[in-house]
A = this chain, B = another copy of it.
Amino acid sequence: MKNILLNFISNYISLTEEEMNAIFSLDIFRSVKKGTILLREGQKSKESYFVLKGCIRTYFLIDGEEKTTAFYTEMEALTPPCVISQTPSEYYVSCLEDTILVASNADMEAEMNSKFPKFEIMCRKLSEELLAKQRIDFDEFKTSSPEQRYLNLLHKRPDLIQRVPQHQLASYLGITPQSLSRLRARIMEKSKG
């Protein structure tokens, strides 16, 4: 697990022995069981997550309905907006599978950043990259129909379609479970001819 993290970090900066040790002395690895809720609506939090193995999901609870907006799998990072704005969370974060993750605290990050300026650089690069990626996802979402979105997902993240329940995928695609079911049947029909 440590290697996965180091490997990820090496995409942004190169670490000395001392820096590696500083990271591992922080006790940031955590194992969480499927179904664990990491963050609830209304809670305040300073934690960011990086998924080493497994899958976590974010969702809103609107009129008793879960509206899933994102999934984070291996090598993906999530800093909930409430951590940045320092206001109570608008949504839930929960584990879809048994998950191993890195949980880092904002205060701890600040300390690391001031001690090792390299970390600041990594954080900047990472958030710039995530911002650009998310922009692309958003643009694709806006410019395509539910069916196109599903086909796009099938192409880009086939694993998600396997590991995530349909009704959660549906709201991730901005539609109802019934529509997703229908849409899938429609696609099947087409591909048969």
Contacts and interface: CB of A to CB of B under 8 A. Distances in A.
Contacts of A141: 138, 141-142, 174
Given A120-B117, A124-B120, A141-B141, A131 B79 contact: yes
Given A62-B143, A120-B124, A127-B128, 17 more contacts: A60-B139, A67-B143, A69-B138, A70-B139, A79-B131, A81-B133, A81-B135, A81-B136, A83-B132, A85-B132, A117-B120, A124-B127, A127-B127, A134-B134, A141-B141, A142-B172, A143-B171
A168 to B, nearest CB: 12
A132 B62 contact: no
A142 B69 contact: yes
A56 to B, nearest CB: 15
A85 B130 CA distance: 11
A173 to B, nearest CB: 8
A123 interface: yes
Contacts of A131: 79, 84, 127, 130-131, 134
Contact of A132 (B79, B124, B174): B79
Interface in A62-83: 62, 67, 69-70, 79, 81, 83
B139 A137 contact: no
A91 interface: yes
A70 B135 CA distance: 10
Nearest to A83: B132
Interface in A168-185: 171-172, 174
A142 B171 contact: yes
